[in-house]
Amino acid sequence: MVENKELSIRIRQLRVDDFDEVVTMQLAAFPLMKPWKKEQWEQCVTTFPEGQIGVMLNDDLVASSSSLLLNFDEFSINHSWSEITGNGTLSTHNPLGDTLYGIEIMVDPEYRNMKLARRLYEARKKLAREMNLKRIVVGGRLPNYHLYADEMDIREYVQNVMDKKIFDPVLTTQLSNGFTLKRIIKDYLPGDKESGGFATFMEWVNLDYQAEGEQQFNTYVRVCAVQYMMRMVNSFEEFAQHCEYFIDVAADYKSDFVLFPEMLTMQLLSFLPNKRPGTAVRQLSAYTTQYVEFFRQMAIKYNTNIIAGSHLQTEEDEELYNISYLFRRDGSFDKQYKLHITPHEKKWWGVKPGDKVEVFDTDCGKIAISICYDVEFPELCRIATSKGAQIIFVPFNTDDRRAYNRVRYCAQARAVENQVYVVLAGAVGNLPQVDNLDIQYAQSAILTPSDVEFHREAIAAEAEPGDETLIYQDLDMNLIKRNKLAGNVRTWFDRRDDLYRIHYFEDGKEQVL
């Protein structure tokens, strides 16, 4: 497995010349089963290239998925793998079919526990939505059944797996990725001794499927805000362990974004030499590389986008900045500098401001980050919204209820006036040995515009104040679009640009909004 190396992960279509790597992976993943023949593989890739998908970790193929299109009503539910795939040649593929049939999915054993199978299932779902297919169907092997065949029949085994009493690497994964068991198929792969020849007939229904004349369904983004407890730590590794716990939990909830609080890495000062505040905080720069690499690997490992709170670091100009990093689940990252520095940050640490409102492209649309004090300046979120941001993430760190209220009320205003979602995550707890960051108060929240379509309090989710916890919520992105166009009020479109405008500077040029 790749260690101590910069990781990059991506999904791509497989090609004919991937044959050798695919067969090598098959032999490692399924040592008791026959691998693809070259002519079968060439037929698959040329017949339905969109359905042959690979996961690349740096330059290595580490997981793959193969599928075809068909009208499933033309086949018996009690089919075999050979029958449904044309003996692996995809001769049964129907370009006009309404069902995506998954014929194989595999992960290199060396790269398991990185949620690569989830990426492949998500890629299949994305393909089904893009092609407007009714569903995905798979015949799932039961590779652990042979371990229990002497003590239970196949029906009991499947029920025990569904009840989480037994783990099966295929069925457990399919259930966790939204597939529903329809029935058990006999003699699906007669030569599959591990499964006893059995397979499960599994189905995922595309809720976005749009038949002619039907209205298209909404799309959702799941966001998670971590209300994180500041505590004394003895090493970077201990800090990382606390963070990974919450990332793991958020990934179990299949969150698309995980937001941590501002000044997250100030915890590290609890084990560093106690110096004057301005000198002490500059010690954090020594951990920037570890911080970046840790969260990059977490985003890849847990298949989620992470806004890793904020980190104070010095740059090439030797000045200190408060920076929030976005780590995408494909391994790339970007950063937003805090633009408005509080009097406290200036006095004690000498923090300098950034000079640009960034808007980031992600696999769930455009987002922006407004760090704590920045959300109290309405122009910044207005600029971000004008650039296409639909979700504003606000990592914050406040010491008492009054300071928190400034952030909370302004964040709610930004959601209303720009008709966007705003997600807040703050810290709780205390750092008694860190000067000028003694106590924290937070009530993290996920906020919406205030209109009929949303909760009457304009709060999608809210944490209990003071508790270490996390909150998560599905955000309907189509609802935001409709609210801007046809809400009871249209605060975005009804601005009086004949009366007032925002003038700002970006990349050396004056912009007018």
Quick one: average pLDDT of 68-85? Answer: 86
In terms of Cα–Cα distance, which of 322, 362, 326 is closest to 342? Answer: 322
Confidence of residue 77 (pLDDT cuts 50, 70, 90): confident
Is the pLDDT confidence value at 4 over 80?
A: no
Residues 239 and 146 in one domain: no
Number of H helices, E strands in the chain: 13, 25
* CA dihedral sign of residues 399, 400, 405, 406: negative
Residues 198 and 268 in one domain: no
pLDDT of residue 31: 86
Residues 153 and 36 in one domain: yes
Q: Report pLDDT digits (tens) over 21-45.
A: 999 999 998 888 888 899 999 999 9
Q: Which amino acid is at 429?
A: G
Give dist(CA 268, CA 51) in Å, integer: 46
Residues 358 and 279 in one domain: yes
Q: Is residue 316 part of a domain?
A: yes
* Among 132-146, 201-215, 456-470, 499-513, the least confident range: 201-215
DSSP label at residue 183: E
Q: What is the residue range of 146's domain?
A: 9-205
Residue whose entry in the numeric block shows the structure tokens 């399924």: 30
Going through 370-430 in order, the beta strands assigned E by DSSP cover 391-395, 421-425, 427-430
Give dist(CA 236, CA 312) in Å, integer: 15
Q: Report pLDDT digits (tens) over 225-265.
A: 999 999 999 999 999 999 999 999 999 999 999 999 999 99
Instruction: Choose the final residue of a domain: 179, 205, 231.
Output: 205
Residue 179 CB partners (closer than 8 Å, separation 6+): 136, 138, 140, 202, 203, 204
Residues 121 and 238 in one domain: no
In this structure, what are the phi and psi dihedrals at residue 224, rounded to the nearest 5 degrees? -135, 135
Quick one: average pLDDT of 469-496? Answer: 89
Q: Is residue 210 part of a domain?
A: no
Is the pLDDT confidence value at 98 over 60?
A: yes
Residues 296 and 147 in one domain: no
CATH number at residue 182: 3.40.630.30
Residues 381 and 245 in one domain: yes
Q: Is residue 211 part of a domain?
A: no
Confidence of residue 357 (pLDDT cuts 50, 70, 90): very high
Its pTM stands at: 0.73
Give the residue numbers marked as catalytic.
Answer: 262, 338, 372
Q: Is residue 3 part of a domain?
A: no
Instruction: Choose the final residue of a domain: 149, 173, 205.
Output: 205
* CA dihedral sign of residues 397, 389, 471, 289: negative
Counted residue by residue, the chain has a size of: 513
Q: Report pLDDT digits (tens) over 99-123.
A: 999 999 999 999 988 999 999 999 9
Quick one: average pLDDT of 71-88? Answer: 85
Strand partners, 423: 393, 446
CATH number at residue 245: 3.60.110.10
Q: Is residue 214 part of a domain?
A: no
pLDDT of residue 428: 96
Q: Which amino acid is at 118?
A: R
Do strands 391-395 and 421-425 pair parallel, antiparallel, or not at all (unpaired)?
parallel
Residues 127 and 63 in one domain: yes
Q: Report pLDDT digits (tens) over 423-457.
A: 999 999 988 878 777 789 999 999 999 999 899 99
Confidence of residue 272 (pLDDT cuts 50, 70, 90): confident
Residues 186 and 277 in one domain: no
Confidence of residue 218 (pLDDT cuts 50, 70, 90): very low
pLDDT of residue 215: 44
Q: How many domains does the chain have?
A: 2
* CA dihedral sign of residues 271, 272, 278, 284: negative
pLDDT of residue 456: 93
Give dist(CA 123, CA 141) in Å, integer: 20
Q: Is residue 470 part of a domain?
A: yes
Residues 200 and 224 in one domain: no
Q: Is residue 499 part of a domain?
A: yes
In this structure, what are the phi and psi dihedrals at residue 261, rounded to the nearest 5 degrees? -75, 165
Residues 233 and 190 in one domain: no
Q: Report pLDDT digits (tens) over 49-68.
A: 999 999 999 999 999 999 99
DSSP label at residue 218: P
Q: Is residue 370 part of a domain?
A: yes
Q: What is the mean pLDDT of the chain?
A: 92
DSSP label at residue 208: T
Quick one: average pLDDT of 301-316? Answer: 96
Confidence of residue 216 (pLDDT cuts 50, 70, 90): very low
Residues 131 and 79 in one domain: yes
Instruction: Choose the final residue of a domain: 205, 237, 264.
Output: 205
